């Protein structure tokens, strides 16, 4: 049913639960997982401080993705991981349009309620614009 699944993670609790569900589903459907973490570029600027911060965020993303690889390996689930930089919703939508994913799995929120109100929910944007089904996990 789902041969390729895209999982978006951001370090939040709901994203961790989404990844756990993706492992379960991948085992049941004999699926391959592609896991993406998007380093948001909301900071702007070009100072050395910004570059250092981006490097730190990418380093944290690499650690998260390595943990995903280990967990997938323990469960005999094929996995590819990637780090992208940009607007999370836009990157996930573009990945869904440019690849043959059967499903996107993601958590409900990585932002606080005020940011979500002002900027909009990543999961909501993905649900409205992705070309494949989207499973949102709380």
Q: What is the pLDDT of residue 138?
A: 84
| CA dist., res. 60 & res. 133, Å (int) | 29
d(CA 73, CA 121): 31
- Give me the pLDDT at residue 71, please: 98
Predicted confidence at residue 33, as pLDDT, reads 98
Distance between CA 89 and CA 43 in Å, rounded? 16
| Residue 127: burial class (beta carbons within 10 Å; 0-12, 13-18, 19+) | middle
pLDDT (tens digit, 9 = 90+) per residue, 67-91? 999 999 999 999 999 999 999 999 9
d(CA 125, CA 68): 25
Q: What tens digit of pLDDT does each residue of 109-119 get? A: 655 555 555 44
In the chain, where the domains are located? 4-137
The mean pLDDT of 35-59, rounded to a whole number, is 80
How many angstroms separate the CA atoms of 95 and 131, rounded?
A: 10
Q: Confidence band (pLDDT; 50, 70, 90) for 104?
A: very high
Which pLDDT tens digit goes with each residue over 17-45?
Answer: 999 999 999 999 999 999 999 998 665 55
Instruction: Say how far apart CA 89 and CA 102 lie, in whole Å.
Output: 17
Q: How far apart are CA 128 and CA 125, in angstroms?
A: 5
Q: What per-residue confidence (pLDDT) applies to 40? A: 84
% of the chain with per-residue pLDDT over 90: 72
pLDDT at 53: 83
Which two structure tokens, joined as six digits, stand for 102? Answer: 């059967």
Q: How confident is the model at residue 5 (pLDDT cuts 50, 70, 90)?
A: very high
pLDDT of residue 49: 75
Superfamily of domain 4-137: HUPs (3.40.50.620)
């Amino acid at each position: 049913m789902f041969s390729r699944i895209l999982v978006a993670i951001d370090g939040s609790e709901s994203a961790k639960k989404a990844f756990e569900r993706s492992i379960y589903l991948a085992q049941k459907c004999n699926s391959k997982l592609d896991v993406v973490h998007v380093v948001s570029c909301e900071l702007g600027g070009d100072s050395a401080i910004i570059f250092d911060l981006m490097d730190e965020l990418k380093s944290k993303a690499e650690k998260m993705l390595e943990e995903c690889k280990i967990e997938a390996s323990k469960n005999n689930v094929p996995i590819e991981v990637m780090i992208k930089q940009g607007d999370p919703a836009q990157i996930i939508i573009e990945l869904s349009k440019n690849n043959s994913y059967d499903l996107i799995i993601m958590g409900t929120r990585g932002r606080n309620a005020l940011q979500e109100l002002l900027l909009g929910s990543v999961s909501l944007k993905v649900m409205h614009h992705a070309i494949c089904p989207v499973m949102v996990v709380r």
